[in-house]
Amino acid sequence: MNIMGLREQRGVVIAATAKIRRYGERWMVPSQSGNGVYMVRIAGEHQCSCPDWETRREDCKHVFAVMYVMRREENADGSMTVTEGIAVAVEPRPTYPQAWTAYNTAQTSEKEQFQTLLFDLCRNIRTPQVKRNGRPSLPLSDAIFSATFKVYSTVSARRFMTDLREAQAKGFIAKTPHFNSISNCLENPDVTPILRWLITQSSLPLSGVETDFAVDSSGFMTSRFSRWFDHKYGVEKMKADWVKVHLMCGIKTNIVTAVEIGDKHASDVKFFPPMVEATASHFQIAEVSADAAYGSRATTDCVHAAGGTPFISFRRNATGGVGGTFEQMFHYFMFRKQDFLAHYHKRSNVESTFSMMKRKFGDSIRSKTDVAMVNETLCKILCHNLVVLIHEMFELGIEPMFRQSQAELSVNN
């Protein structure tokens, strides 16, 4: 009686429930999620087109499923071969302790604490003096406070006015702006660097906590659509536009330390070094994990130059013969695969960060123009950081202190 591993157990389930077809030397195995199929090759070296095999280069659940199907088909008369009883070793599910007292306190006081932290950040923003006729401009600090607080609320600008009047009554803003002023703030391209600076400042209180980081990208859907005529099929097609966000976050608290937003069709590699450099200027980097989209000699050397170890997945055609840190990590992966993967799988925390952000503040953008879409996305990330800080205030007992040296930040309204 043999003991099965977790992947082999799942392979048995797939072999028993899914319809697996053979095409020459390859087998087509349906995905358990129902999204597509994977091609498995058993002859010679086992291969599978699933991400698990490409990352680990070891037998995955789809390979085990095909092996069990092949074992069933050994009888020429079409009868099924009954294998001996198999004892399935059920691995205990990992559990993570939850500080419920701190969690409950953070949740019940989050909205009030959010306004306090956001006010502390925004009060350092100076409004430039501009000589012009008419009504005085809305203070820049109030405009950015209102725009970020509006994104936090997840409601429209008009429905948000009640919250703004309450914020004015509490002294967080000097006066209640018109709802159009919030939209105008997001439309201002000079607000973008200020929001990026606020994101950096909001991460600094956890600089003594985070040493391991993860990088990934994700998209936020917009309400703007692109239409084109497909000459091949003679029909008009339509697709929603989206904003692609690259970010680096700490794996313990999910705080975002750096963010880059660029062309959604551009290569991911070029966005990696700026995020590492921005994070290294405020944090001590021990290691950085990322998927194969960020794999290159430039990215691994960048992490090494920052004093960290890069655990970046390798593409299928990688050979490691390029020298530098990339070659060293490739040999590390080949000869100490399990140890490498234990570090690499910390990357899942950045996916959790995106999930937290989208579930709480929405996975879509209301704005219509390119500038406003970028600024609204940055506001979502800033809101996420402040919520993380609020939780850590009660769980770790930290007192966020924001720097006061950037009061000269301003834009020309």
Per-domain residue ranges of the chain? 3-88, 100-196+366-395, 210-364
Contact 258, 274 (CB under 8 A): yes
CA separation (Å) from 134 to 80, 95, 318, 360?
A: 87, 62, 63, 40
Question: Residue 313: its pLDDT value, please?
Answer: 92
Q: Which residues in 252-368 belong to E strands, given as ranges?
A: 256-261, 287-290, 309-312, 364-365
Distances (CA, A) of 366 to 62, 87, 199, 318, 372: 41, 54, 21, 41, 9
- Quote the tokens at residue 281: 């200027």
Reported as half-sphere exposure (CB side, CA atoms, 13 A), residue 12 has a value of 11
Question: Is 412 a residue whose pLDDT tops 50?
Answer: no
Domain 210-364 adopts which CATH fold?
Answer: Nucleotidyltransferase; domain 5 (3.30.420)
Answer for the pair 243, 260: CB distance below 8 angstroms, yes or no: no
Range list of H helices, 175-281: 179-187, 191-203, 272-280
Alpha carbons 382 and 357: distance in angstroms, whole number: 10
What is the mean predicted confidence (pLDDT) over 61-70? 88
Residue-level pLDDT at 138: 85
Amino acid at 225: F
d(CA 43, CA 25): 7
At 380 the pLDDT is: 97
Q: Is the pLDDT of residue 332 over 50?
A: yes
Residue 196 DSSP SS3: helix
Q: Averaged over 127-154, what is the pLDDT?
A: 83
Between 79 and 214, residue with greater pLDDT: 214
CA 395 remoteness from chain centre: 23
Q: What b/e readout covers 276-292, taking b as 16+ CB neighbours within 10 angstroms?
A: bebbbeebebebbbbbb
